[in-house]
Amino acid sequence: MRIPTTRAFALAMLPVLALSMAGCAKKSGNKDLPYVARDVGTLYSAAKQRLDQHQYKLAAALFDEVERQHPYSVWARRAQLMGAFSYYLNRDYTESISSAQRFLAVHPGNRDAPYAYYLIGLSYYEQISDVQRDQKITQQALDSLGELTRRYPNTKYAADARLKMDLVRDHLAGKEMEIGRFYETRGQWLSATMRFRTVVDQYQMTTHVPEALMRLTEAYLALGMPEEANKAAAVLGANYPGTDWYEHAYKLMQSNQGKLQQAQAAAKPAS
């Protein structure tokens, strides 16, 4: 799920990041570059130049080289997170996550920690696949973005993360709907009901709720539970009265009015 404004927002943070960081870190040697001893200023400048030229893979390798050759310099910590950023721009998300997590492990209280959490969240977010595939990465995106908003709720990164979390929740709800519709076509009504119920209960603010309520109406009627179907249709009508989903649910309940009346009569205590 690549959204252009995501990459642009991350890139916009680069000047802030470059000015704010200082310190040290250590890492095993980079296997992509031969070891050639260079002073830290030369290495960092070369890495930054490659980044500006959009040679992201080489930039990341050179930032890693700053750490390898000068682990205790004031530039090492800066290079560590800039390397994670370069990997992200190169769409090498696994390396970006690894580098950002390593930064947080060594410098958990650093003032640029929110940006490291943000890079992790973005790296998972960019890997979100369509709802027909496994959604493990989608859940990891939601978890990591949520971690950022919990730890640093008032940062600019958290504000962007909250917007993305809404999109991620909608995607996860879409997956539940996909599975629920599959069960429905096979006549596995109980399994379908559980999926649609998850959407209604756990993803109330997503775009999938109206359909989920209509599908619940269908499923409860198929299960011989007209009163539950009526409740789902009533909630749908109260919250989404002008939708096609409600119109369909209303017609279903009208055509099954006899079953509902029988169920209500059976539930009344004997006089």
- Cα–Cα distance, 229 to 250 (Å, whole number): 10
| Full-model pTM | 0.77
Tell me what the pLDDT averaged over the chain comes to: 85
* Tokens 């958990």 sit on residue: 108
Q: Which residue has the higher pLDDT, 109 or 194?
A: 194
At residue 22, the pLDDT reads 34
**Integer-rounded Cα radius of gyration of the chain:** 26
At residue 51, the pLDDT reads 95
For 20-38, what is the mean pLDDT? 46
Instruction: Indicate the pLDDT class of residue 15, thresholds 50, 70 and 90.
Output: very low
Instruction: Indicate the pLDDT class of residue 265, thresholds 50, 70 and 90.
Output: low
At residue 129, the pLDDT reads 85
pLDDT per position as a tens digit, 67-125? 888 888 878 888 999 999 999 999 999 999 999 999 999 888 899 999 999 999 999 99
Q: What token pair was written down for 162? A: 């909250």
- Domains, the chain, in order of start with CATH, read 4-127 (1.25.40.10), 173-265 (1.25.40.10)
Confidence check: pLDDT of 28 > 60: no
